[in-house]
Amino acid sequence: MRLMIMFDLPVDTASERREYRQFRKRLINEGFLMIQYSIYERVCVSRKTATFLENRIKSFLPTSGVVQSLMVTEKQYNDMHFLVGNPVDDVRNSSDRTVILCFYLIYLIKRWL
């Protein structure tokens, strides 16, 4: 499951630019990666996790502009076509990373016990 956040925020005044920077920084701190300007995504384990993240994002929305979210399955995401340009193979942007982190966490727990 992927959660995509798309936004178009005004940057005319200093306060609007500050809100834009803060919103973008919070998305990055929540684990989102930029796939295009103003389009960020994050791999989620389940729809429940994606809904939880969506609710967290609602808590720090900017006061103006447009912010949209979209939940897509891995199959839907992998059916995306690149009309111009090439996909970037980034391990941070794959569901394989989630599995590796789970195995590493299990390893650490067993080692600690």
Alpha carbons 113 and 58: distance in angstroms, whole number: 38
> 22-52: string of b/e by CB count within 10 Å (b at 16+)?
ebbeebeeeebeebeeeebbbbbeeeeebee
Q: Is 8 annotated as a binding residue?
A: yes
Binding site, annotated residues:
8
Binding site, annotated residues for Mg(2+):
8
